[in-house]
A and B are shown apart, each in its own frame.
Chain A
Amino acid sequence: MPRIYGYSPILLAIAATACAGASDPVATQTTPAQDSAAAQADGAGAAATEEDTATASMDSGATTEDAGSAHDTGSQDSGATPTPDVAEPPQITALDAPPNKGLPTFSAVKDTTGTLAKADTLKGQWTVLWFYPAASTFG
């Protein structure tokens, strides 16, 4: 726990929460997709590292085929059992939504351009919505 000067109870509570943030069960909670992906990664061995390598290669401008071919060659040389050609679920940190959670109908929301947004206009494309109590607040 960091040293807090002033010993304000509010500051102590904030510091305690910030320190506990690393072990926040919400932040570290895994989704079923992540659990199955982790199980597959354990069985495949270097599957997770391959994805990280591919991502890093994409960032550096290199192609992912090079990383994939290198991984395949390595597995064949070692004589390991080839993994079945099954598409791995996407590695995401989000939580699965509650079941039967459709988009509620709304029509009184304006976007940044001032245009009135409706629930119908969001269909047909992936949408990211975030809502919070008020601007310039924690979170």
Chain B
Amino acid sequence: MASRITVIIDPDGVWKYHYPTAAIGFDFYGHPGTVLKDMKALLGK
């Protein structure tokens, strides 16, 4: 079960992508650094 969920919402208010992160243990999945990297790819920058 995820303890943290990071969600990317597009300008229309639609839930586009999400990162469910494991409940125990530090996980880089959904880490702000990876999220920003994905946002950079989404925005084409």
Count A-B pairs with CB separation below 8 Å: 119
**Cβ < 8 Å to A, chain B residues 1-19:** 2-19
B30, A130: Cβ atoms closer than 8 Å: yes
Which secondary structure dominates where chain B touches chain A?
mixed
CA distance in complex: A95, B18 (Å): 5
B6, A102: Cβ atoms closer than 8 Å: no
CA distance in complex: A21, B28 (Å): 10
Residues of A within 8 Å of B, CB-based: how many?
37
B11, A138: Cβ atoms closer than 8 Å: no
CA distance in complex: A27, B27 (Å): 8
Q: Given A90-B41, A102-B15, are A132 and B3 also a contact pair (CB < 8 Å)?
A: yes
Q: Is A83 an interface residue (CB 8 A)?
A: no
Please choose the segment from A12-20, A42-50, A73-81, A109-117 that sits at the chain B interface, where 4 or more of its residues have CB less than 8 A away. A12-20
Interface centre among B38, B39, B41 (most CB of A within 10 A): B41
A14, B8: Cβ atoms closer than 8 Å: no
Q: Is A84 an interface residue (CB 8 A)?
A: no
CA distance in complex: A124, B14 (Å): 11
* B27 CB to nearest A CB, Å: 6
Closest chain B residue, CB of each to CB of A99: B15
Q: Is A101 an interface residue (CB 8 A)?
A: yes
* Chain B hits for A24, CB < 8 A: 22, 27, 29
Q: Given A90-B42, A92-B41, A123-B12, are A129 and B6 also a contact pair (CB < 8 Å)?
A: yes
Query: Can you list 10 residue pairs at the A/B interface with Cβ under 8 Å?
Result: A27-B22, A94-B18, A94-B35, A95-B20, A96-B17, A119-B13, A130-B6, A138-B24, A138-B26, A139-B23
